[in-house]
Chains A and B, each alone.
Chain A
Amino acid sequence: MVKKVIKTFEIEYLQVMDTEGKVDESLMPKLSDEQITEMYETMVLCRTFDDKGFNMQRQGRIGTFIQFKGQEASQVGSAYALEEKDWMVPMYRSGAAMITRGFPLIMLYQYFSGDERGMKVPDNINMLPMAIPVGTQSPHVTGLAMASKIKGDGAVALGYTGDGGTSKGDFHDALNFAGVFKSPAIIICENNQFAISVHRKDQTHSETIAQKALAYGIPGIQVDGNDIFAVYKATKEAVDRARAGEGPTLIENYTYRRPDHSTSDDAKKYRSEEEVKEWAAKDPIDRLRKYMMNKGILDDAKNEEIISKAKEKVEKAVEEYEKVSEPDPEDIFKYTYAEMTPNLKEQLEDLKD
């Protein structure tokens, strides 16, 4: 009879910069001052966009809006690690990741006002449209990455899921296929600790999401999702490994959903305001600003300039958004097939008269 341990596992947690903006230099990823400034500018732009979107929803100027406030480090830091040829698969809360990849602000406002023209990803960005179903993104990432591997185009694919999304079979399929086919895929789980009202601990009995990777024989790591350097470092390493043919990675960005789930939700029903305040104190943008100020990359004047530039960009997007003409009802029919069927043509004619 034999009874012995045949395998033990460990899960790493990574934080590079603490809440005071102090970094552990030995862990600091290679980033120039210009790159760090660009990351900061992007986060400020994203926050300005997000706050404005929320206000516009409250004023009835757009429809249901989904905020990412507080998750900027998690999204900007990970999207920043991609090259232009790489693929990204956003979920509905991935606005900041999309903006990082150059998705026009105005189109996001259009999307949230129920204008489908806001979904057409510009031709120069390798990205799927924002998709509303929870969890479907992950296996799509695996597939996009498999295609790149087969084609040998050197691109990797990265996508986002929430902690809730890890409960779906899709998550299993994504990691299992990615492991089996050594797909150059990076799955980012933004563990913001809530799936609408359901807390992370009621989502899975696992202690971490990251450890789920191990069951599929692929690396998994948990990072401080409010630390942009940790997020960037973990993602960049995963991207480099994927590009080198070493296969997929699961990254759990441990963060917090500060806003209500969406503008249709009321989180007071299921969580305490104190908890939200505690997490506001760990704000990812404040943290990077402290670091940059200490380091002398940023001063008050430059900070003001960055903030007012972001405001200008957002105001301009809003102005353009409010001037957009109404979509043509023909749009309902145009994209169902490559060519409109006789049946659809008839239905369109009916609609017109």
Chain B
Amino acid sequence: MAKLTIVQAVNAALRNELAKDKSVVLMGEDIGVNGGVFRATDGLHADYPDRVLDTPLSEAGIISTAFGMAVNGIKVIPEIQFSGFMYGPMEHIYAHIARTRTRSRGRFNVPMVIRTPYGAGIRALDLHCESGEAIFTQTTGLKMVIPSSPYDAKGLLISAIRDPDPVIFYEPMRLYRALKEEVPDEEYTIPLGEANVVQEGSDLTVVSYGAALRDAIKAVSQTGYSAEIIDLRTVIPIDTETIINSVKKTGRCVIVHEAPKSCGLAAEIIARINEKCFFNLKSPPERVTGFDTAVPFAKLENYYLPNEKRIIKSLNKVMAQ
């Protein structure tokens, strides 16, 4: 057992799978000798030079060739350097990667994990700060995982790699090195589609995932409320049951995410609450999210992020009724 950061946990999961399965291949920009711009693949090229590939600079090239590799028996794990560059290859993701199981009536599957860092809060450049998960949650046929801790990152990534379906693995850039925790040396998996109840409580339910979950936890700790905090971990499929059971108990809910507000995941979660336990609600659910705007640059990004102040405001609001 060692204390690892999220980047190190990602590295450990990749190393584990490279060692275990000869069909695992990593590809991406600067992931080889350079070890990735965040060092997520540090040292892997040295040990597996033929299976950790630096590619030409083309996201569409990476993802489209990865599709062909995946259909032909390679467990391919492409890295897109920043999630803001996921849209060049979108035709291949939408039209092929997400749809080939359906199109081939189950004959072919696309077992691929696209890893990419997402999110604001590190004073990065334009298009290095986006949270675009809602674009993928509407791309039916994909699964999507967003870890918030080193332990989860390793277990979820191993599960994603072994999953028979295509998975987008969104890595919270802001948390890459922000926290360390004990991560077992040996392999373990965390099932996709199961949320984690980070903290039990009875006054209200807080649902979040990724980097925003850390802000939610901090905000809750500054109030006296007994909050049940749920980390979704997998945003497709959503663990509806865990959310509904909690809201049935508390009758109040605040959802926190960094992505824009309109038609975001919070909207979907509130819809499910309305469908399944509307009459248990004591107050209208609240969303604390990014705005329906581009992510502002460094000088203003803290206004955009669902910061503690904004979260506490919503916690108080749902508790007022």
Binding site for B on A (CB under 8 A): 63-64, 92, 113-116, 131-135, 164-165, 167-170, 195-198, 202-204, 264-265, 269-270, 326-327, 329, 331-333, 336, 341, 343-344, 347, 351
Complex contact B300–A333 (CB within 8 A) = no
7 A–B contacts, CB within 8 A, in A order: A114-B123, A132-B127, A197-B32, A331-B296, A336-B292, A347-B261, A351-B291
| Complex Cα gap A336–B262 (Å) | 14
Cβ of B124 under 8 Å from chain A: yes
Interface residues of B in 39-86 (CB under 8 A from A): 54, 56-61, 84-85
Closest to A66 in B: B125
Complex contact B303–A203 (CB within 8 A) = no
Cβ of B20 under 8 Å from chain A: no
A326: B residues at CB distance < 8 A: 299
Complex contact A167–B299 (CB within 8 A) = no
A195: B residues at CB distance < 8 A: 29, 57
| Complex Cα gap A246–B44 (Å) | 50
Query: By DSSP majority rule, is chain B's interface helix, strand, loop, or mixed?
Result: loop
| Complex Cα gap A273–B166 (Å) | 42
Q: Interface residue count for B (Cβ, 8 Å)?
A: 37
Interface residues of B in 14-56 (CB under 8 A from A): 29-30, 32-35, 37, 54, 56
Q: Contacts A197-B30, A343-B292 given; indicate if A134 touches B297 (C-beta within 8 A).
A: no
Cβ of B126 under 8 Å from chain A: yes
A92: B residues at CB distance < 8 A: 125
Closest to B304 in A: A332
- Pick from B85, B128, B296: contact of A116, CB under 8 Å: B296
Complex contact A329–B300 (CB within 8 A) = yes
B90: A residues at CB distance < 8 A: none
Count of inter-chain pairs, beta carbons less than 8 A: 108
A351: B residues at CB distance < 8 A: 291, 303
Complex contact B58–A270 (CB within 8 A) = no
Q: Contacts A64-B123, A331-B300, A347-B261 given; indicate if A270 touches B57 (C-beta within 8 A).
A: no
Complex contact A327–B57 (CB within 8 A) = no
Complex contact A203–B56 (CB within 8 A) = yes
Min distance, Cβ A339 to any Cβ of chain B, angstroms: 14
| Complex Cα gap A92–B60 (Å) | 21
Complex contact A347–B123 (CB within 8 A) = no
Q: Which 8 A-B pairs have the closest CB atoms?
A: A114-B298, A197-B34, A164-B57, A167-B56, A114-B297, A132-B126, A167-B57, A167-B58
Cβ of B135 under 8 Å from chain A: no
Most-contacted residue by chain A among B29, B32, B57, B125 (CB, 10 A): B57
B125: A residues at CB distance < 8 A: 64, 92, 132
Cβ of B164 under 8 Å from chain A: no
Cβ of B178 under 8 Å from chain A: no
Min distance, Cβ A241 to any Cβ of chain B, angstroms: 29
Can you list, as one digit per residue, whether each of B275-305 has a CB less than 8 Å from chain A (1) or not (0)?
Answer: 0000000000000000111101111110110
B60: A residues at CB distance < 8 A: 168-169
| Complex Cα gap A168–B37 (Å) | 19
Complex contact A269–B33 (CB within 8 A) = yes
Closest to B127 in A: A132
Complex contact B298–A347 (CB within 8 A) = no
Complex contact A327–B126 (CB within 8 A) = no
B298: A residues at CB distance < 8 A: 63, 113-115
| Complex Cα gap A331–B304 (Å) | 11
Complex contact B127–A133 (CB within 8 A) = yes
- Pick from B29, B59, B88: contact of A198, CB under 8 Å: B29
- Pick from A132, A134, A270, A331: contact of B34, CB under 8 Å: A270
| Complex Cα gap A269–B262 (Å) | 43
Closest to B297 in A: A114
Min distance, Cβ B161 to any Cβ of chain A, angstroms: 25
Complex contact A133–B34 (CB within 8 A) = no
A168: B residues at CB distance < 8 A: 57-61, 88
Closest to B261 in A: A347
Closest to B56 in A: A167
B291: A residues at CB distance < 8 A: 332-333, 344, 347, 351
A169: B residues at CB distance < 8 A: 58, 60-61, 88
